[in-house]
Amino acid sequence: MSGVVGYIGDKNTVEVLVAGLHRIKGHDSAGVAVVNDQGVSAVKSLGKLENLEAKLAAQPVSGAVGIGHARWATHGVPNETNAHPHFDAADEIAIVHNGIIENYQELREALQQEGVTFRSQTDSETLVHLIRKYYTGDLFKAVQQALQGVKGAWALGVVCKNNPDVLVVARQGSPLVVGFGENEAFMGSDVSAIIKYTRDVVYLDHGQVCEIRCDGIKVEDLAGNAVTPEVIHVDWDDSAAEKDGFPHFMLKEIHQQPEVIRSTLRGRISDDGCSINLSDINISEEEIKACPRISIVACGTSWHAGMVGKYLIERFAKIPVELDLASEYRYRDPIVEENSIFIPVSQSGETADTMEAIRLAKSQGAKILAVVNTVGSSVARESHGVIYQQAGPEISIASTKAYTTQVTSFVLLTLWLAQIRGTMTQDQAKEMIEHLRTLPEKVQAVLENQDPIKALAGKPKYRDAQSAFFLGRDYNYPSALEGALKLKEVSYIHAEAYPGGEVKHGPIALVTNELMVVCVAPQGNIYDKMVSNIQAIKARAGLVISIATEGDDNIQAYSDDVLYIPECYEPFTPILVAIPLQLFAYYVATNRGCDVDQPRNLAKSVIVE
Ligand code: AGP
């Protein structure tokens, strides 16, 4: 996600803005705008914040009210033109925005019809031109009216040359907090951006617009109903504030999953809920129809997500899918068929093995369609088409939200492929999309019931285990692989994963009463087979933790412990079971005193072979 900051008062506005931007993790460009006698002055830069600071040192700007932005690109590559703040045509109104505007194309086209010229490729720029359209002197009213026609998510900061004593902010989806000082006020995407100056804050709620003046605020909803928000005192220290109060980035990012899955879906589902819109990924319907085979290639967690993608695409879009680890693909002389589609999966978009695999496939004529989280990354730039995960920056080395948004991206891709190839009826697609829309709230439900997971992770027989198996079948074999990787990389417990049906072909020799065996067994077509595998483990005194569907009492007879997930459409269970697996790994690791966010020997992006 990007980050927004704002200030109004007697301090050095640019200093306050830049200090706030430094607290926002992960960005590709930044900028500030301040209101002064000359109008609205802005400075923007590409890359690190230090570049902005250097430009500000060379061309200082000042003013009593201002806004700032650290951009994590979602629409439009990272460059100065796409960096925020964005301006109206008269350069009198400036905005900073965090979020995704779902209907920005239709808004952009309508504004262009009215003669508006756009400068950037961003969805955000539509907002400033809409505000200008409704502006008649009252900035608060103009923002309120402009947002009534907008769909999507925003944390928005707005300033105007003609309203030098006002900062207007608004929130829908993306977080936004307002802080109060002595005859001054602050705004930020999260409290870490303003906690240096104030601990008395208001968290705006969805659909609210707030006019900030030095001596107080006015809050209304979009319909103009007044709201009296609660002022709370935040007593986090600086480090906790950076993690939104969580002890580690990993736990913060696990809890971001309901919202980031919504971001992955945002703007992708038709209003009637019957179809998917991936028309912007630069792969034509003809190319989809002509495709004889898909190759999915990735590393680590991204490879696990790609495996779920393989199961989904073959089952619902009926296209053969090959799955490869990038480090193997690039050296095994793969056969790349004409018109085949090659799908690299990468959170960072910089993984060396994945990059080399792309170059090999491209050299042999494949069409490259990437699933990636980082806009403007090497993978994105070297692909013909891209599906962005929209997960925002993932700071913790252990991938969590990147995994679930990658799997969600594969669900969207599967539906889109099936739509084009005619392998699903409209009713089947509608049913799948209905299940898809319930995912964020189901993930939230698991997050709100994590005490059993925490308790399990504290049991010495699990916390102090020397080794662990993770078992799963079909869609949930990749879940087992991901659960094993999470546990081993943050707690250093040796863990390996097998398909449930494979254990009897050798690994079962290792089953003793000291071996922890996590069995992923939600309700589904292969549930009975999985229970048989669990029985075989239990018969040899293995320590079984089952991940099962709420209401399944049957499985308790063969398990030492059971962690439950809400009922879930089987093809989407990998997204839901990932949550208890992530939390189990996290709590075992913290119980063992491990450095969860920076595990030994690991890097966030493996840019070397
Ligand atoms: C997973 O928790 C690890 N961080 C690692 O396996 C990671 O998924 C792998 O290195 C691939 O990274 P990428 O998605 O950025 O390409």
Residue 269 DSSP code: B
Determine the 3-state secondary structure of 139 from DSSP: helix
**351 CA to centre of ligand 1 in angstroms:** 8
Q: Closest Cα to atom 16, ligand 1: which residue?
A: 346
> Averaged over 348-357, what is the pLDDT?
93
User: What is the bridge-based pairing of β-strands 3-8 and 294-298?
Assistant: unpaired
Tell me how far the alpha carbon of residue 329 lies from the centroid of ligand 1, in angstroms: 17
CA–CA separation, 209 and 231 (whole Å): 16
Query: Any idea where the domains of the chain sit in the sequence?
Result: 3-242, 253-437, 444-591
Structure token pair of residue 358: 């792309």
Which one of 250, 301, 377 would you pick to mutate in the ligand 1 pocket, going by the greatest count of ligand atoms within 8 A of its CB? 301
**588 CA distance to ligand 1 centroid (A)?**
21
Q: Are 392 and 260 in contact (CB under 8 A)?
A: yes
532 C-alpha to ligand 1 centroid (Å): 33
Residue 230 has pLDDT above 90, yes or no: no
Angle at alpha carbon of residue 459, lines to 455 and 464, rounded to 5° = 135
Query: pLDDT at position 578, please?
Result: 98
Q: What is the pLDDT of residue 530?
A: 97
- How far does the centroid of ligand 1 lie from the alpha carbon of residue 438, in Å? 27
- For 293, the token pair is 């085979």
CA 553 to ligand 1 center in whole angstroms: 36
User: Which pLDDT band, with edges at 50, 70 and 90, does 1 fall under?
Assistant: low
| Confidence band for 342, pLDDT divided at 50, 70 and 90 | very high
Looking at residue 279, its pLDDT comes to 83
Confidence of residue 585 (pLDDT cuts 50, 70, 90): very high
Q: What is the mean pLDDT of residues 330-356?
A: 95
Determine the Cα–Cα distance for residues 212 and 247; give it in Å rounded to an integer: 31
**Res. 58 pLDDT band, cuts 50 70 90:** very high
For the entire predicted model, the pTM comes to: 0.84
pLDDT digits (tens, 9 = 90+) for 473-523: 999 999 999 999 999 999 999 999 999 999 999 999 999 999 999 999 999
Nearest CA to ligand 1 atom 10: 300
C-alpha distances out from residue 380 to 48, 319, 353, 373, Å: 20, 24, 15, 9
Per-residue tokens: 323: 């799955």
Which of 547, 544, 531, 542 lies closest to 580 in space, CA to CA?
A: 547
As given in the structure block, the two tokens for residue 301 are: 């967690």
Q: Which two tokens stand for residue 15?
A: 């200093």
Query: Ligand 1: distance of its center to the CA of 301 in Å?
Result: 5
Q: Which CATH superfamily is domain 253-437 in?
A: Glucose-6-phosphate isomerase like protein; domain 1 (3.40.50.10490)
Distance CA 22, CA 155 (A): 18
| Helices and strands per DSSP (H, E), number in the chain | 20, 25
Range picked from 230-244, 376-390, 542-556 for highest mean pLDDT: 542-556
* 9 in Cβ contact with 19 (< 8 Å): no
The preferred substitution site among 249, 325, 327, 347 for testing ligand 1, maximizing ligand atoms within 8 Å of CB, is: 347
CATH number of 444-591: 3.40.50.10490
What tokens were used for 530? 């999985």
Q: Which residues line ligand 1 (CB under 6 A)?
A: 299-302, 346-348, 351, 354, 397-399, 485, 489, 605-606
Q: Which positions ≥6 away from 145 have C-beta within 8 Å? A: 134
| CATH number of this structure's domain 3-242, picked from the four choices 3.40.50.300, 3.90.209.20, 3.60.20.10, 3.90.1640.30 | 3.60.20.10
* Ligand 1 atom closest to 354 (CA): 16
Atom of ligand 1 nearest to the CA of 301: 8
Confidence check: pLDDT of 239 > 80: no
Q: Indicate which residue's Cα is closest to atom 13 of ligand 1.
A: 346
CA dihedral over 525, 531, 536, 540, signed as positive or negative = positive
Residues pairing with 298 in the sheet: 325
Q: 253-437: same fold as 3-242?
A: no
Cα–Cα dist 102/150, whole Å: 8
Mean pLDDT for 222-236 is 90
Mean pLDDT of 150-155: 93
